[in-house]
Amino acid sequence: MNAEVAIIKTAAEAALAQAFSQARGRLPGDGAIAAQRAAAFDVFAKTGLPHRRIEDWKYTDLRALMREAKPLAAPPDAAAKAPAKTAGALLGDVEARRLVFVDGAFVAELSDVENLESGLTVGSLADSLSNGDPTLAAHLGKLAPASDAAVALNTALMGDGAVIRIAAGATIERPIHLLFVASAKPAATFVRSLVVVEAGARAMLIESHEGPAGSDYQVNAALEIFVGDEAHVDHVKIIGEGADALHVSTLAAAIGARARFNAFTFTTGGAVVRNQLFLKFDGADTVAGIRGATLIKGRQHADTTLVVDHVAQRCQSREMFKTVLDGEAHGVFQGRIIVRPHAQKTDAKMMTRALLLSERAEADNKPELEIFADDVQCGHGATAGALDDELKFYLMARGIPQAEAEALLIRAFLGEAIEGIEHAGLREALMDAVVAWLEAR
């Protein structure tokens, strides 16, 4: 008789296992990809959904928060695609090349794939998987941590996504916008994207996620970015999911030498959001800014978990995450900076601040520094508190009504993070989104 340990599965875990066994035969990719999927699902099956006894998921107990697993999304029909035509409104008049995904599937007719700039290649992951694109063998799954349950599920069930290559030395002026839209059907999507920016190239990526309120759809999105030596890459993620959605997304990047890399996450949507960033500085003398602004209210839960791994020497990273919480919202920030033994002269500073607008809101901050080199400058700071009454009084004493005074201070609080975005139009669009959030408060 086998001495197998019977693992008690939750309904969601059982449904995911069933979804994988039913879908594995028709998911795109050759034998090697199928093996990669199976191995990833094994990782997930062993641990199940992450829960609070797993340190990295301590504050976001997915086993409790994810009561059921939605069925895998069906290919979008015309009705599902219709709302995507007006999606991305938050970006205002920021001009960008749109690649549109509805319920996780690339929609060519809504996307802008004509007149590609010289050096730019874009395609869909589903096509790349089906065609045996050699880019995948070299890059897919090389950056996102395989042991992470959310990444493992994504690898097992990835259906589509973007595959983008930017040739060495190419400057792509126009931002590339990966626009992920959920239709009204409450389904699960697993999107996986891969971006390879070769040496000396310049590009800006916008990744946005949105969907209707009233639908408890589930999104698991992962993006791996390879940043070559002397490349300059900006990544801005906008998590504007519908109010009842569950969103888990992962950004994994490896950054070469003398490069510039900026990542920004703007979160306002979703019932449960987990935003993971795994960034590795592989080459020396790189400068990076990792920032974020989160505005949540009601019973929203938003977790940003960041791992910055300084492997090479003389890199500079600045991490700044700001969260505004109202109602009974729960904000989480976990930030870990690792400085490896050879990463001398690393200069890393992490700051996380939470502004609580309600006494029932909760903010958990967990900064960690793991330093194995002896000649470094590293620091972190974390604050959580209410709006400063003295400042509010000063503004009101000048005739500014209370609500306007609060809005001014909240905008200033978030502005410190948003100012780090290099694209002026995008900065303005996000500040406008902040104003809209404040007005709807």
Partner 1 sequence: MSLLEIENLHVEIDGKEILKGLDLTVNAGEVHAIMGPNGSGKSTLAYVLAGKAYYTPTAGEVRFDGKNIFDMTPDERAAAGLFLAFQYPLEIPGVATMTFLRTALNAQRKKRGEAELSTPEFLKKVREVSGKLDINQDMLRRAVNVGFSGGEKKRNEILQMALLEPRLAVLDETDSGLDIDALRIVSEGVNRLRSKQRAFVVITHYQRLLDYIVPDVVHVLSKGRIVKTGGKELALELEARGYAEYQEEVPA
Sheet with 330-339: strands ordered across:
120-124, 162-166, 188-197, 218-227, 246-255, 272-281, 301-310, 330-339, 362-371
Which residues neighbour 407 within 8 Å (Cβ) at sequence distance 6 or greater? Answer: 435, 438
Q: How far is the CB of 253 from partner 1 (least distance, A)?
A: 29
Listing DSSP states for 103-155 in one string gives TTEE-GGGS--SSPPTTEEEEEHHHHHHHT-HHHHHHTTSSS-TTSHHHHHHH
Answer positive or negative: Cα dihedral of 95, 101, 102, 106.
positive
The verdict on 387 binding partner 1 (CB under 8 A) reads no
Which residues neighbour 214 within 8 Å (Cβ) at sequence distance 6 or greater? Answer: 184, 242, 243, 244
The verdict on 393 binding partner 1 (CB under 8 A) reads yes
Residue whose CB is less far from partner 1, 6 or 397: 397
Q: How far is the CB of 428 from partner 1 (least distance, A)?
A: 14
The verdict on 318 binding partner 1 (CB under 8 A) reads no
The residue count for binding partner 1 (CB under 8 A) is: 22
Give the range of 179-187, 264-272, 323-331, 388-396 binding partner 1 by CB under 8 A. Answer: 388-396
According to CB under 8 A, which one of 34, 400, 422, 441 is a site residue for partner 1? Answer: 400
Residue whose CB is less far from partner 1, 412 or 436: 412
Q: At what angle do helices 149-157 and 31-47 cross, to 10 degrees?
A: 150
The verdict on 411 binding partner 1 (CB under 8 A) reads yes
Label residue 207 exposed, middle or buried (CB < 10 Å: 0-12, 13-18, 19+): buried
CA–CA gap between residue 209 and residue 190 (Å, rounded): 13
Give the range of 47-55, 198-206, 251-259, 412-420 binding partner 1 by CB under 8 A. Answer: 412-420
CA–CA gap between residue 84 and residue 424 (Å, rounded): 25
Query: Are the C-beta atoms of 344 and 375 separated by less than 8 Å?
Result: yes
The verdict on 396 binding partner 1 (CB under 8 A) reads yes
Residue whose CB is less far from partner 1, 75 or 385: 385
Residue whose CB is less far from partner 1, 245 or 355: 355
Q: Is 293 helix (H, G, I), strand (E, B) or coil?
A: strand
* Element containing residue 318 per DSSP (H, E): strand 316-325
Q: How far is the CB of 351 from partner 1 (least distance, A)?
A: 13
Query: Are the C-beta atoms of 128 and 161 separated by less than 8 Å?
Result: no
The verdict on 395 binding partner 1 (CB under 8 A) reads yes
Residue whose CB is less far from partner 1, 95 or 388: 388
Residue whose CB is less far from partner 1, 168 or 431: 431
The verdict on 435 binding partner 1 (CB under 8 A) reads no
The verdict on 359 binding partner 1 (CB under 8 A) reads no
CA–CA gap between residue 385 and residue 388 (Å, rounded): 8
Q: Which of residues 44-63 bind partner 1 (CB under 8 A)?
A: none
Q: How far is the CB of 412 from partner 1 (least distance, A)?
A: 3
The verdict on 39 binding partner 1 (CB under 8 A) reads no
Q: How far is the CB of 406 from partner 1 (least distance, A)?
A: 12
DSSP annotation of 257 reads T
Query: Are the C-beta atoms of 188 and 218 separated by less than 8 Å?
Result: yes
Give the range of 92-100, 153-161, 352-360, 407-415 binding partner 1 by CB under 8 A. Answer: 407-415
Q: Which of residues 240-279 bind partner 1 (CB under 8 A)?
A: none
CA distances from residue 162 to 65, 136, 176, 191, 296 in whole angstroms, order as listed = 29, 11, 11, 8, 29
Q: How far is the CB of 359 from partner 1 (least distance, A)?
A: 16
Nearest to 311, CA basis, from 274, 350, 275, 337: 337
Nearest to 306, CA basis, from 292, 295, 285: 292
The verdict on 374 binding partner 1 (CB under 8 A) reads no
Residue whose CB is less far from partner 1, 311 or 417: 417
The verdict on 373 binding partner 1 (CB under 8 A) reads no
Q: How far is the CB of 387 from partner 1 (least distance, A)?
A: 12
According to CB under 8 A, which one of 34, 369, 391, 431 is a site residue for partner 1? Answer: 391
Q: How far is the CB of 380 from partner 1 (least distance, A)?
A: 19
The verdict on 83 binding partner 1 (CB under 8 A) reads no
According to CB under 8 A, which one of 71, 119, 415, 425 is a site residue for partner 1? Answer: 415
The verdict on 431 binding partner 1 (CB under 8 A) reads no
Question: For tokens 């780090």, what's the residue?
Answer: 420
Residue whose CB is less far from partner 1, 134 or 399: 399
Give the residues lining the site for partner 1 (CB under 8 A).
389-391, 393-402, 404-405, 408-409, 411-413, 415-416
